[in-house]
Amino acid sequence: MRFRRRQQKIFAVLFWLAVWGLFALLVGQELLVPQPYLVLERLWLLAGRSSFYLNLLHSLYRICLGFLLGTVLGAILAYLTTANPWAGAIIEPLMSVIRSTPIASIIILLLIWLSPTGVVISCVVLIVLPVMWSNFVAGINYRDPQLEEVADLFGFSRWKRWRYLRVPAILPFFFAAVQTGLGFAWKAGVAA
């Protein structure tokens, strides 16, 4: 089974490399769509320079920091949204505006206001924030009526309800948000 899965992954990589190569042939302009072997050749040359690794680590640091800040801020705003209807009325339109604003527009505005390092971190935060917020809100609002009934029967305190009911309900939403958010964070960080 494991061998078959590995074969499928290798096939998928080779398939997409072939599609890339064919597309590069069709376009016929190396500047727009280079051949895969040219990209690997350039990557090999860059891999020989120490500055390549320093830039890579610096970019990873900024993207990860932005992702972490977006996650924490998303969790805080989700809690406020679900705990207080007035806060929710203020936060929801903000999330809609952030979600619907193109990344390029965000980057241009941030370039005017911040340093280059701040642009990447802030851009990643703004891209990850709505994803995390919406998933945290969905997880906090999810309630299994039978588990709520058992908690009432046993007289669970607020703390025990959060520990044994809310947190386990939030975790699947959180993991889904992390999967989506990491992809968005990487794209936003590279674009910025």
User: 43 with 59, same domain?
Assistant: no
Which contiguous run of DSSP H or E holds residue 49?
none
| Inter-residue contact 177 to 132 (CB < 8 Å) | yes
Provide the residue range defining the domain that includes 97: 54-191
User: 59 with 42, same domain?
Assistant: no
Count: domains in the chain? 2
Rounded Cα gap, residues 74 and 36, in angstroms: 38
pTM, entire model = 0.78
User: 32 with 121, same domain?
Assistant: no
User: 40 with 62, same domain?
Assistant: no
User: 83 with 159, same domain?
Assistant: yes
pLDDT by position in tens, the chain (length 192): 788 889 999 999 999 999 999 999 998 888 888 999 888 888 888 888 888 889 889 889 999 999 999 999 999 999 999 889 898 899 999 999 988 888 888 888 888 888 877 888 989 999 999 999 999 999 888 877 777 777 777 778 878 877 887 788 888 889 999 998 988 888 888 887
User: 105 with 61, same domain?
Assistant: yes
User: 169 with 187, same domain?
Assistant: yes
